[in-house]
Structure 1
């Protein structure tokens, strides 16, 4: 009778386990990283790292992510967060007037640390110099990929890095590619297309309008 009771209790646990597994969602996809939601807790997790609830990201690309949950690997497509805890996403807008030299300057943050950006639509990615990277706590020599970039004074050694977040105003983008340039150039952090390409932007009579994208 005792063995039957144990078996019956185990069978009762199966629906609960299945329900727990269904709470794992992929709510953001980036090259080599995914934003996972486990029981309402969201985090950007790179391939090979472990996120909330011990969920591991095995691979991630535009088509989806492979997660290892409780030792079992499964492919997850991008999903929307429709539950009582989340409201439908709304767009956030930011307007910036032209500043010194006819440029757009925006106060923002990288990985939660404040920084002043110069908007540069000609830059392929967010760019900072090595001194700014050290102040922001970015270990670019360890986590970055060496490369060479062209500057106004010639070529320079640089490192391609992956930022957890870039934020201007109330607009935040997770998983942004950036370049750390050796030396003191660029003197101002450049807000390039690795961020601008992930938001909507337009110029209206000397005003730059940025707007978040909903997915």
Structure 2
């Protein structure tokens, strides 16, 4: 069943190939869209030049670099925000993506940086060997990590570029959404919901 064409589409550019763009639409899994074609949501790829793609949404064209996104919102809309709901144990889990790859996050204000397990890092194409080695203290003792820079981290409508992160040598049960992301948010807690609003 085809999805309905919606008035607003939130489009992110996750990667570029010859004549094709890797797009995320409304937070979904990345998909390849060829130049000159249009998705069921009404998102078209007009042109690709160098490291940018020209995207058309609802008749409006925007030039995006890899890692950028455009939310088709009414003019005057406020800064991007996302509302998370706590689970039964009070933890805030959410699905987002890193460098265009879908990932499961746990909001963790006790983590200094976004923290990624070895397996997830491989899936995202992140090479820990190119990062800065270090040691961190965790609940399970000390762990060897590599500090890297993420091109983009996306949660809902919020996208941040150039986010510091730690890649662990072992797998983690979930990627920790730490303070290198959260410091750039306004965090408002109300009951079992948390609203993250992009500050800069």
**Residue aligning to 2:106:** 118
Evaluate the alpha carbon distance shift between residue 207 and residue 89 of structure 1 in structure 2; reply closer, same or farther with a 3 A threshold.
Answer: closer
Choose from 117, 131, 134 the match for 1:129. 117
Q: What's the offset of the Cα at 1:111?
A: 0.4
Which deviations, in whole Å up to 9, do the C-alpha atoms of 1:36-68 show, x marking residues without a partner?
Answer: x9xx85658xxxxxxxxxxxxxxxxxxxxxxxx
Q: Which runs of 4+ in 1 moved over 2 A?
A: 40-44, 87-90
Evaluate the alpha carbon distance shift between residue 97 and residue 89 of structure 1 in structure 2; reply closer, same or farther with a 3 A threshold.
Answer: closer
Q: What's the offset of the Cα at 1:105?
A: 0.4
Paired residues for 1:1-80 under 5 Å? 43=65
| CA distance in structure 1 between the aligned counterparts of 2:77 and 2:193, rounded to whole angstroms | 25
Q: What's the offset of the Cα at 1:201?
A: 1.1
Runs of 5+ unmatched residues, structure 2: 1-51, 53-61, 67-74
Q: TM-score, normalised by structure 2?
A: 0.61
CA RMSD, Structure 1 to Structure 2 (Å): 2.2
For the pair shown, which has the larger CA radius of gyration, 1 or 2?
A: 1
Structure with the bigger percentage of strand: 2
Which deviations, in whole Å up to 9, do the C-alpha atoms of 1:95-131 show, x marking residues without a partner?
Answer: 1111142100011000011001000011111001111
Q: TM-score, normalised by structure 1?
A: 0.57
Runs of 5+ unmatched residues, structure 1: 1-36, 45-86
**Residue aligning to 1:103:** 91
Structure with the bigger percentage of helix: 1
3-state secondary structure, aligned to 1:146 = strand
Counting matched residue pairs gives 133
Choose from 189, 192, 195 the match for 2:175. 189
